[in-house]
Structure 1
Amino acid sequence: MEHFQRAENILLTVLEEVNAIDPRFLVDYSRNLEAFEFALCSSEDEVTVEVPLWLNGDDLLMKEGSGHWSQSGRGTSRHYPVSDFCYLGVPKEGAGLENWTSKDVFSTADSAECSGYIVPGKVLRLLRELIVAAIVHCKHQFLIQPGDLSAERLKEESMQLPLLVSSGWKIIQFNLIPVVKRTQANLKLSSSRWRERGFPEGSLSRVTQGVDFIPATYHHWRYSTNRPVVRLLHIMGTMEGHRLDSLRLLDQVNSEDWREEGKKRGLSFKHLEMVLLWATELFPSPEDWEELEGSIYRLLVILLCSLATKNLPHFLRPEENLFQEEDLDLTTLYHKVEGFASTPQRFLKFHFTPMGHNNLQQKDMGIQALLQLPAKNSSYWDTAFFDVLLSKFQVYRIQDKQRLSAMSNTLLKAKKAVHDQS
């Protein structure tokens, strides 16, 4: 963490100079969530940093975009639903927004309600120019030293601005994103996300109060779930059990054994975060997380199911598939994860299973056929179905009679469904 704080201080020095040049860009000093996420992740050296804009987002007019849009960059393509996209307009009678109607960030429009729109593409371009100017100033004033940071990746055209900063230990990539904050609206969630099973009561409503908007395309902003997700992880860190331990271990295995091409291609830490969020909801009992081995398999059965069906739903926006990326070889990843689930002792530097533990035979257990069921019937995406998978991996030790009964009923239903398909 000392190394992270050193890199963070260099970044803050640059952002303070950005603010001095153009006060419309603020410096957010509350970095505890970014530091927390960075400490969890051992495989990646990227941190998302929001740069708040100096305006009251509640004063802006929202107009939803249209169609489905894709965001591309670094070989990946993510598709976002129409409800995520919007324009942010400045009302004709808006007070206190004069600084946001200049040509460097604004585009006029013929509208009865607003004088025009704040254009995220222009905001990104301006912030990029300000960062370069701030770096030059800081170097001339010896506020940062040679080798402290590199702005070479700022030339890339994307919806974030990568800045490479030396921590004295390794290079950390801070991805800077301008953000407009609104407090009078909640993040749009699917109704099913309000069950709050597995989380302390009120968790979802707390983390989704207010909305952050970040650039999606040159003209459009979109809802951001970055902070709500990390806040949920932070809440899990206060709960008893091995949830975060499981995430750390699978992140390490992913980095060492599941990723390809210089450790850049494959599952990301964000994917594993989402798997943990689903596992926390689908396995709500504290008993589910008492043992490290069982905790890890709770993540594994959800990950295997997602890879088999080629669909990892976003926890807060289930209509968004996080596997809609062009460079993910999901079939190869499935076999790698399946190999770990069958014989974890081959991949670990320490063992949490008895040395005499029999290797599991996947084909005999019929797991591959079972894993396909949620793609054909969404009702299988439930605790009872994943309890069935846990029992197949011989790590199901729950004594709750209701769960045992539900699992038994689901197993009979699943066997019939698999038989009908064969």
Structure 2
Amino acid sequence: MLDDNLAQYFWVCWVGAALSYVSASPGWMGPWLLYQIVSEPPKQWVFQNHLALFQLFGRETQSVLCLWNFTQLAAPPTRHLLQPSHPFPSYFPDVSRCHLHHSRRSLDNSFLAMAVKVSHWHNYLRVILSREDQRMEHFQRAENILLTVLEEVNAIDPRFLVDYSRNLEAFEFALCSSEDEVTVEVPLWLNGDDLLMKEGSGHWSQSGRGTSRHYPVSDFCYLGVPKEGAGLENWTSKDVFSTADSAECSGYIVPGKVLRLLRELIVAAIVHCKHQFLIQPGDLSAERLKEESMQLPLLVSSGWKIIQFNLIPVVKRTQANLKLSSSRWRERGFPEGSLSRVTQGVDFIPATYHHWRYSTNRPVVRLLHIMGTMEGHRLDSLRLLDQVNSEDWREEGKKRGLSFKHLEMVLLWATELFPSPEDWEELEGSIYRLLVILLCSLATKNLPHFLRPEENLFQEEDLDLTTLYHKVEGFASTPQRFLKFHFTPMGHNNLQQKDMGIQALLQLPAKNSSYWDTAFFDVLLSKFQVYRIQDKQRLSAMSNTLLKAKKAVHDQS
């Protein structure tokens, strides 16, 4: 029996060929071939999504409509697939009263106007969403293999725990369709609240190996073991500990040593699991463990694709809160108390060989999870731009470019800067709220971290921000050109992009931080003609900001 993925692939190829045949074949032969294919489809998924698929893949709309009309009129075996919850009948009236003697042209013309109502944005999103269940299956298969190895690590050295609560990691992996990497925390068996935290200085932060990039030095710290500390004896051995001459502590837990020990344990666990046939040949590759970095990458096969799990040892302190700048306690756009809830407890992960640092990964994903419970198209906008980024904004065949983490941060800022539910009612308008913030960040070469605004996520990144800006601006100007999936490299046409006077405006936040506000981004939305807010106060603030911005641009020129 064919694998489901392979069956889907052949099904798409067959129907694609049939569509091409319909456009070239006169009379009854083309519709007859379509009927033979759709009457007993091997996979309901493709049939239920065929309209979106073929519009996105560039097939002729008339041929697609012909397929829809014909299967409704002449294929009773497939009628059970069209349940009331099916998305497409809302765009098409009941055609059961039509007669088969109507010509193909009359059928196509009757539905052509209604097909225009089907948004390209929604079709593109529909295909992305159809993949999420499959990605979750891949994640679960690979996760089972990883947990087998981590359980053996724990059996060899109980100081490294197995965290079975992977809901947030699975949630983020399903959201991100363009990347197959997952950050996995390996908790250490100790009470982080019993450790002494000593902040690192600028001099210390540059010492050691594998220094983390673009993290504030103030985030770096030592984690010391108190001289009178009880229950920490297991963490004073040479394999993870370094003694120190201090009145308060006997020494420090060294993250570089912890990483080295965990790397050795993982290799030993993989060897044991293979000997005991707990994992199969080809399930897992430890080749990248040789790399010197602050995380341990394991390549795990899900049966169809390879998922990279980046293992990071973590020390948890439950009685502390993540250190935030004062401006981050403005909770516009989020349910009340969200920021305080997600920042309860602190995770420390390796920053350099000698230093730990605060981790913001879990609070960020928890905020995304909260946004998933809110009405509107926030997460849909993230899904769609992530796919466009993968298809069109990255360099061909390379991973260089914007990452999913960058787009996550843009969404968090958009949620705060556009707090009204009205901002997120329409998919197109929601996407442009992310686009204006992304364009501004690229133009000013500064994407501030949502929880730590003093941290620039573009700093020291190997990114061509000027080229990226032009790609994103091209998409914002003519999105319909990009809302297709590409099976072959897409040619980059030198289309003349609309200026609309936004390039000078986008530079203003770099010179005056007061422009990083809702009114300024409302001005940018109006430039793209997607501003439909009726709130009088916001309209007035936007008008005032526009006058102020025009004056500032005029003074600079």
Q: For 1:355 and 1:143, locate their aligned partners in 2 and report how far apart those are by CA, in whole Å.
A: 43
Contact 2:297–2:311 (8 Å) recurs in 1: yes
Q: Which runs of 5+ in 1 are unaligned?
A: none
The structural deviation recorded for 1:263 is 3.5
What TM-score does the superposition give when structure 2 sets the normalisation length?
Answer: 0.72
- C-alpha separation in 1, matches of 2:404 and 2:204: 24
Checking the alignment, whether the CA contact within 8 Å between 1:7 and 1:166 is kept in structure 2 is yes
> Residue 307 of structure 2 is aligned with which of 172, 183, 187?
172
Q: How does 1:228-307 map to 2 (within 5 A)?
A: 228-307=363-442
Q: Per the alignment, do residues 168 and 128 of structure 1 end up closer, same or farther by CA in structure 2, a change over 3 Å counting? A: same
State the distance in 2 between where 1:162 and 1:129 align: 13
SS at match of 2:498: helix
**1:326 positional shift:** 3.8
Distance 1:419 1:73, change over 3 A: farther
Pick which of 167-176 and 60-69 moved more: 60-69
SS at match of 1:68: helix
CA contact (8 A) 1:62 1:86 kept: yes
Q: CA deviation at 1:354?
A: 27
Contact 2:196-2:226 at 8 Å conserved across structures: yes
**Deviation for aligned residue 1:71:** 9.4
Deviations 1:269-315 (A, max 9, x none): 00000000000000000000000000000000000000000000000
Q: Could you list the runs of 5+ residues in structure 2 that have no partner in the other structure?
A: 1-135
CA contact (8 A) 2:474 2:497 kept: no
Secondary structure at 1:387 match in 2: helix
Q: Give deviations 1:90-139, integer Å, cap 9, x for gaps.
A: 00000000000000000000000000000000000000000000000000
CA distance in 2, matches of 1:354, 1:63: 52
202-211 or 355-364, which moves further after superposition?
Answer: 355-364
Deviations 1:307-331 (A, max 9, x none): 0000000000000000013410000
Q: What is the CA-CA distance between 1:69 and the residue it aligns to?
A: 8.3
Distance 1:259 1:205, change over 3 A: same
Distance 2:359 2:497 in 1: 39
Hey, what's the Cα distance between the residues in 1 that align with 2:531 and 2:490? Answer: 19
Between the aligned partners of 1:132 and 1:65, the Cα distance in structure 2 is 32
SS in 2 for 1:78: coil
How much has 1:68 moved relative to structure 2? Answer: 7.8
The CA distance in 2 between the partners of 1:264 and 1:75, in whole Å, is 21
Residue pair 1:69, 1:79 contacting (<8 A) in 2 also: no
Question: How far apart, CA to CA, are the structure 1 residues paired with 2:270 and 2:152?
Answer: 8
1:30-72 CA-to-partner distances (Å, cap 9, x unmatched) read: 0000000000001100000000000000000000001188899
The number of residue pairs the alignment matches comes to 422
Write the deviation string for residues 338-387 of structure 1: whole angstroms up to 9, x where unpaired.
00000000000399999999999865521000000000000100000000
Provide closer, same or farther for how the CA distance between residues 364 and 142 of structure 1 changes in structure 2, counting only shifts above 3 A.
closer
Of 203, 208, 231, the match for 1:73: 208
Taking the aligned partners of 2:431 and 2:207, their CA distance within structure 1 comes to: 32
**Which has the larger displacement, 79-88 or 123-132?**
79-88
**Contact 1:69/1:81, CA 8 A, preserved across alignment:** no
1-structure distance, mates of 2:512, 2:296: 40
CA–CA distance in structure 1, aligned partners of residues 140 and 477 of structure 2: 40
Q: CA deviation at 1:82?
A: 1.9
State whether residues 73 and 158 of structure 1, in contact with CA within 8 Å, keep that contact through their aligned partners in structure 2.
Answer: no
Kept after mapping to 2: 8 A contact 1:179/1:214: yes
Distance 1:164 1:350, change over 3 A: closer
Larger radius of gyration: 2
User: Which has the larger displacement, 119-128 or 363-372?
Assistant: 363-372
Q: Which residue does the alignment assign to 1:328? A: 463
Contact 2:209/2:352 (<8 A) preserved: no
Change in CA separation of 1:356 and 1:94 when aligned onto 2, cut-off 3 Å: closer
1:105–1:384 distance in 2 versus 1, CA, 3 Å: same
Residues 345 and 351 in structure 1, CA contact (< 8 A), matched pair in contact too? no
Contact 2:220–2:356 under 8 Å retained in 1: yes
Please provide the CA RMSD for this pair. 3.6
**How far did 1:262 drift?**
1.7
* Aligned partner of residue 180 in structure 1, secondary structure: strand
Name the SS for the 1:175 alignment partner.
strand
Change (3 A) 1:333 1:217: same
Q: 2:205–2:217: 8 Å Cα contact kept in structure 1? A: no
**Does the 8 A contact of 2:391 with 2:485 survive in 1?**
no
Q: Report Cα offsets for 1:137-188 as digits up to 9, x if no partner.
A: 0000000000000000000000000000001121000000000000111101
Task: Tell me if the contact between 1:132 and 1:151 (Cα under 8 Å) persists in the aligned partners.
Answer: yes
Conserved? CA contact 2:509–2:515, under 8 Å: yes
Is the counterpart of residue 11 in structure 1 residue 146 in structure 2?
Answer: yes
* 1:351 aligned onto 2:472: no
User: Which of 1 and 2 has higher RCO (CA within 8 Å, sep 6+)?
Assistant: 1
Q: Percent of aligned pairs with the same residue?
A: 100
In 2, Cα distance between the equivalents of 1:396 and 1:360?
A: 25
CA contact (8 A) 1:343 1:360 kept: no
Q: 1:345 to 1:140 in 2, by over 3 A?
A: same
Equivalent position of 2:279 in the other structure: 144
1:377 corresponds, among 512, 515, 531, to: 512
- 325-334 vs 282-291, greater mean Cα deviation: 325-334
Alignment of 1:54-203 (within 5 A): 54-67=189-202, 78-203=213-338
Rounded to whole Å, the distance in 1 between the matches of 2:492 and 2:234 is: 67
* 1:345–1:68 Cα change, 3 Å: farther
Q: Secondary structure at the match of 1:359?
A: coil
User: Structure 2 CA distance, aligned partners of 1:208 and 1:353?
Assistant: 44
Alpha-carbon contact 1:369-1:418 (below 8 Å) kept = yes
2:446 maps to which residue?
A: 311
Over 3 Å counting, the alpha-carbon distance change for 1:62 and 1:72 in structure 2 is: closer
Q: For the Cα contact (< 8 Å) 1:49–1:176, is it kept in 2?
A: yes
**Residues 210, 294 of structure 2: 8 Å contact kept:** no
Superposition deviation, residue 78 in structure 1:
2.1
3-state secondary structure, aligned to 1:30: coil
Contact 2:210 2:353 in 1 (8 A): no
Given that 1:342 and 1:359 are in contact with CA atoms closer than 8 Å, whether structure 2 keeps it comes out as no
In structure 2, do the counterparts of structure 1 residues 18 and 380 end up closer, same or farther at CA, with 3 Å as the change threshold?
same
Distance 1:44 1:71 in 2: 31
CA shift at 1:81, angstroms?
A: 1.2
Corresponding position of 2:69: none
Higher helix share: 2
Q: 1:148 to 1:77 in 2, by over 3 A?
A: same
Q: Tell me which moved more, 360-369 or 270-279.
A: 360-369
Secondary structure in 2 aligned to 1:193?
helix
Task: Determine helix, strand or coil for the equivalent of 2:214.
Answer: strand
